[in-house]
Amino acid sequence: MDIQSHMSDSAPRPKTKWGQQRRLEFVEYRLRWDGHINRSDLTNFFGISVPQASLDLSEYDRLAPGNLDYDASTRTYRCAPSFDPIFESSRVERYLDDLLKMTVENEVPYGSFLGTYPPVASVPRPWRHLDLEIVVAVVAAIRSRSALDIAYQSFSSPEPATRRVTPHALAHDGYRWHMRAFCHKNHDFRDFLLSRVLHIEGTEADRDRQPDDRAWSTMVDLVLMPHPALKVAHRKVIELDFGMVDGECRLQCRQAMLFYVLHQLGLTEEDRGRSPESQQITLKNRIEIAGLLPRTQYR
């Protein structure tokens, strides 16, 4: 299996076995974020022999020459000043995501390469209850292209109702898990919160509905800019925060997820009355995407 392409795209993709690839990613991850690695790190984490660990370090040095400095006094490989990563898994986004997982789990989560790490905290939020059997059934229905008869408690109705839905994807809005599904009652595609599915009453063979879900397949560009009413100095701060180029940055999301993105960024119609200092950013191309926004998502 191919190793991820060099992040600077300056080298061709080398090839190696998947098991060794994971170990090479581990080497680079520890070099970048711990600043060093030795053979025991590999043997303890992967349960491999010392000779195999030596071979892995030699292979990494061959693939990424100049990234390792060997300290003979401590028998440790250190991150060289000329370090240039070759794996996407050592990117800052992956590292910070691993740190966030540590605020939820007391032990290093499976798949994480974290070694030593700084104290980290995140804002707590309530976890919406999810029934394991319901999630399993929804995933199975997506896989088999089946319809489900579900008892669903919508936000707009005081009593639960039975609905037939054909799910084709899962979606996460940053707080809640949804299934994206065709609603046979309303003959359209909607988002159904997994936490509001009370139970599943039955299943029946259907067909693949995803190609018909235009809002799911349509990608929309969002152009963000500092609020124009901010002072110049404050606009520069916002540009720095968001890594803006020429006063703007771009996000891309599915049309079906637009409501959630704008809601989290504080860019819904209801948010537009806030002060510039509170809102800080605006949607530069709001007029262009206005027709793509759904009327409501609270179901």
Query: Are 17 and 102 within one domain?
Result: yes
CA separation for the pair 101, 104 (Å, rounded): 5
Backbone angles phi, psi at 68, to 5 degrees: -110, 135
The string of pLDDT tens digits covering residues 256-279 is 999 899 888 888 777 677 888 888
Give dist(CA 297, CA 260) in Å, integer.
9
Which one of 231-235, 271-275, 294-298 scores highest in mean pLDDT? Answer: 231-235
List the single range of 108-117, 126-135, 244-253 with lowest mean pLDDT: 108-117
Specify whether 142 is located in the same domain as 210.
Answer: yes
Taking the C-alpha atoms of residue 30 and residue 198, their distance in angstroms, rounded to an integer, is 44
Give the CATH number of the domain where residue 33 resides. Answer: 1.10.10
Name the domain boundary from 100, 124, 148: 124
Of 74-88, 125-139, 270-284, 285-299, give the range with the top mean pLDDT.
Answer: 74-88
Q: Is 297 a member of any domain? A: no
Confidence of residue 7 (pLDDT cuts 50, 70, 90): very low
**Looking at the structure, do residues 254 and 156 belong to the same domain, yes or no?**
no
Which residue did the predictor score with more confidence, 215 or 14?
Answer: 215
Q: Is residue 111 part of a domain?
A: yes
**Residues 22, 75 within the same domain:** yes
pLDDT band at 12 (very low <50, low <70, confident <90, very high): very low
Q: Are residues 16 and 78 in the same domain?
A: yes
Is residue 51 situated within a structural domain? yes
The answer to whether position 178 is within a domain reads yes
Residues 51 and 169 in one domain: no
Confidence (pLDDT) at 16: 55
- On whether residue 74 sits in a domain, the answer given is yes
As a whole number of angstroms, the distance between CA 112 and CA 22 comes to 11
Helix, coil or strand: residue 195: helix
Say yes or no: 104 and 182 in one domain: no
Instruction: Decide which of 124, 149, 183 is a domain's last residue.
Output: 124
Q: Is the pLDDT of residue 121 over 50?
A: yes
Does residue 18 lie in a domain region? yes
- Of residues 62 and 298, which shows the higher confidence score? 62
The helix or strand, by DSSP H or E, that contains position 30, with its residue range, turns out to be helix 18-34
Is residue 226 over pLDDT 80?
Answer: yes
- Residue 13 pLDDT greater than 50, yes or no: no
pLDDT at position 197: 95
Q: pTM of the prediction?
A: 0.75
> Is residue 233 scored above 80 in pLDDT?
yes
Q: What pLDDT score does 279 carry? A: 86
Structure confidence at residue 192 (pLDDT):
95
Is residue 181 a part of any domain in this protein? Answer: yes
Provide the residue type at 104 as one letter.
Answer: V
> What is the tally of structural domains in the chain?
3
- CA distance readout (Å), 127 to 115, 196, 275: 28, 13, 31
83 vs 16 pLDDT, higher one: 83
Helix (H) or strand (E) holding 60: helix 50-63
Residue numbers of the domain that contains 241:
218-292
Residue that finishes a domain, picked among 188, 214, 240: 214
Averaged confidence pLDDT in the chain: 86
Q: Are residues 19 and 105 in the same domain?
A: yes
Q: What is the pLDDT of residue 4?
A: 37
Mean pLDDT, range 64-93, rounded to an integer: 91
Q: Cα angle vertex 262, ends 169, 213, to 5°?
A: 30
Residue 102, pLDDT > 50, answer yes
* 188-200 pLDDT, tens digit each: 999 999 999 999 9
**Comparison of pLDDT for 131 and 271, the residue scoring more:** 131
**Do 4 and 104 sit in the same domain of this protein?**
yes
Residue 137 · residue 179 · CB < 8 Å: no
Within a domain: 299: no
If asked whether residues 17 and 49 sit together in one domain, one would say yes
Tokens of 6: 């060099």
229 and 270 in a single domain? The answer is yes
Are residues 21 and 109 both part of a single domain? yes
pLDDT score for 60: 96
Task: Give the pLDDT score at 106.
Answer: 60
